[in-house]
Chain A
Amino acid sequence: MSKPRVAVYKMSSCAGCQLEILNLEPILLDLLGTVELSYFVMARRENEPGPYDIGLVEGAITCGEEIERLKKARQECHLLVALGSCACYGGLPSIKNWQPQRVVESRVYDNLAAIHSTTAYGIDYYVPVDAYLKGCPVSREELLDFIKSTLLGVRPYLRPHSVCVECKLHENVCLFVTDGAICLGPVTTAGCGALCPSRGKPCDGCRGPANDANTVSLAQTMVSYGLHHSDIARYFRKFAGMTPEFSKGAEAV
């Protein structure tokens, strides 16, 4: 049987999630024994045409040209996966969505003639998506788990609950209740192994809302910690402001 073919696409992003695939270096050869990375511009000089079994799409969609490429990717892939927070929700590029496009564009570019950007969306705004691998960057563990489960035809174990669960499992000192730091862990999807809190840094919510995120209640607590409503909005809009849950949190107070 031929190996399943994988394609990696890049939209508007920092390429960090693609880099995470290369960061699998110690086991990359084992991975290549299991799947064929047929289309991966960052890593291959020559790329093979589709169709592919699994398409990993990195980045948010922020211009018309990307919509076209995305639709083509959807057509040539059996499974289409949103790789990382940008592809899942718009991610960091979506922080521009609360300002007029022209204002944001002129802040970055001198000559606006060739710039035709649109509101930054996750890829499921335009095409159906089969799986979401969250995170900024994506978790290597979860990516591997997803690939292995897919090849076996079983449902991957992607944690739907809050980061607090993993923080407790690792017995971290709670930055929220012990240090009085604002942490988005209680409303953010786990799966990162509580990466930031385990290193003493509060959760920024890069993985987007957990499955029952009560962002309104968390926003009220942030008020009681003395945060201004604009700070609270910034917390919730940093990575996944376009999701209904985080946008509720941003507008709660």
Chain B
Amino acid sequence: MSVAYARQAEWGIPQLYLLPAAKLNPFLEELKEYYTVIGPVARGKEFVFAPVAKPEELALSYQTTLLPPKKVLHLPFEVLFSFHEDQQIVETAPEQRPQVIFGIHPCDVRAILILDKAYTAEYPDPYYIAKRRHTLLVALNCAEPGENCFCQSLGTGPDLKEGYDLLLTDLGHGYLIEVGSPWGRELVQTMDLAPAPRVAMVEKQKVLENARRKFHKKLNTQGLPELLEENFRHPIWEELMHDCLACGSCTMVCPTCFCYNVVDKIDLNLKSGKRQREWDSCMLLEYAQVALGHNFRKDRDARVKQRIYHKLVYYEPQFSTLGCVGCGRCIKTCVKKIDITDVISRLRGE
């Protein structure tokens, strides 16, 4: 069983606390004493998850970030170990200081729960697990969905029911805190917080109701596997083949994509080096190329299809969930504005 699921199973009804807006910064300062706090901070006109040096940097009113917070659990570039000609191998020591991902949205939490399955089930990934064990998730319910968000259609937002250590909801005057794990309870106990009044739950529902009305995009999931299986030869794929730039951006920013490539970096003495991994993508031509040069997905439409079918059809039998959490990053990042929700509604003839 995955780490997150094991934690969740021990816990039932959440406990509620209230964090007044003025206490947020002291709370963060307190957290920083014991944890590396990673949260959304501004970069130009966008936001990224980065270590928060000062509480004021934290931009909790963000809609989405360039890369998903997956990047702190499965690094874009990661040295796995170093090696030497005499067969000596030195593993990279995992970071011992625990970290908190602060202000992570429900869709991204759900994506991490999917990654937990991919990286801890059949072939446990020690590098991922080492980081995941030391990572707390302080989630933040979504109050303002972005123009590309469609998590509501997939049940992965704007609210969150599992997978968090603490869950915040911005009520305007302060944050409602729901406790989701013993670790989370320890966190709130260090702070002198008042239990939330019952009315806070009503306010939370109002915030979420308000958020639900603001979605522009939706993806109808009814009979999705059948729909896609029946439309494998739909003309839309050829259209996408001409449109798609095959740049790979959509998969790079996806919070559930878990593929990586492994490269050896040799030192100039030609006797030692490092083994590294970095994110890879099925949208790239070389991804499905095998020895002697044969390529299983040479055509662009085959790769576009692979991406969409993997997320919406093939994940289900493997992980009992869809592979898309509706974060909208793939839509946002696409220069050609290729939109997975639009593809599905066109396949439905809408």
Spell out A's residues near B (CB within 8 Å).
27, 30-31, 33-34, 144-145, 148-149, 151-152, 157, 160-162, 164-165, 167-174, 176-179, 185-187, 210-214, 216-218, 221
Contact = CB atoms under 8 A, between A and B. Distances in A.
Contact of A164 (B44, B247, B265): B247
A169 B77 contact: yes
Nearest to B71: A171
Contacts of A152: 266, 270
A165 B248 contact: yes
Nearest to B284: A161
Interface residues of B, number: 38
| A contact face: mostly helix, strand, loop, or mixed | helix
A7 to B, nearest CB: 20
Interface in B207-255: 242-249, 252-253
Given A27-B268, A217-B242, 18 more contacts: A30-B268, A31-B268, A148-B270, A151-B270, A152-B266, A161-B248, A162-B248, A165-B252, A165-B281, A168-B76, A169-B279, A171-B66, A173-B45, A177-B334, A178-B45, A187-B247, A210-B246, A212-B284
A233 B248 CA distance: 24
B133 interface: no
11 contacts: A31-B268, A148-B270, A161-B281, A177-B332, A177-B333, A212-B284, A214-B244, A214-B246, A217-B245, A217-B336, A218-B335
A27 B268 CA distance: 9
B285 A212 contact: yes
Which of B243, B248, B266 has the most A CB atoms < 10 Å from its CB? B248
Interface string B252-271: 11000000000101101110
A217 B243 contact: yes
Contacts of A149: 266
Contacts of A148: 266, 268, 270
Given A157-B263, A171-B66, A214-B300, A164 B252 contact: yes
Contacts of B246: 162, 210, 212-214
Given A162-B248, A221-B336, A173 B66 contact: yes
Contacts of A177: 332-335
A157 B44 CA distance: 32
A141 to B, nearest CB: 10
B278 interface: yes
B54 to A, nearest CB: 20
Contacts of B342: none
B84 interface: no
B286 interface: yes
Which of A145, A149, A173, A216 has the most B CB atoms < 10 Å from its CB? A173
B245 A214 contact: yes
B76 A169 contact: yes
Contact of B247 (A31, A33, A145, A186): A186
A43 to B, nearest CB: 18
Contacts of B336: 217, 221
A210 B333 CA distance: 19
A178 B333 CA distance: 9
Contacts of A212: 246, 284-285, 300
B67 interface: yes
A216 B67 CA distance: 28
B270 A186 contact: no
A186 B46 contact: no
Nearest 3 pairs of A and B residues by beta carbon = A168-B252, A186-B247, A164-B247
Interface in B44-96: 44-46, 48, 66-67, 71, 76-77
Contacts of B76: 168-171
A137 to B, nearest CB: 20
A214 B270 CA distance: 38
B13 to A, nearest CB: 38
Given A171-B66, A171-B71, A164 B248 contact: yes
B164 to A, nearest CB: 24
A187 B285 CA distance: 12
Nearest to B75: A169
A154 to B, nearest CB: 8
Contact of B285 (A160, A173, A216): A160
Nearest to A168: B252
Contacts of A187: 245, 247
B206 interface: no
B286 A174 contact: no
Nearest to B266: A148
B274 to A, nearest CB: 12
A179 B45 CA distance: 9
B285 A161 contact: yes
B249 A168 contact: yes
Nearest to A151: B270
Which of A31, A161, A213 has the most B CB atoms < 10 Å from its CB? A161
Contacts of A162: 245-248, 284
A151 B45 CA distance: 46
A116 to B, nearest CB: 40
A28 to B, nearest CB: 10
Contacts of B332: 177
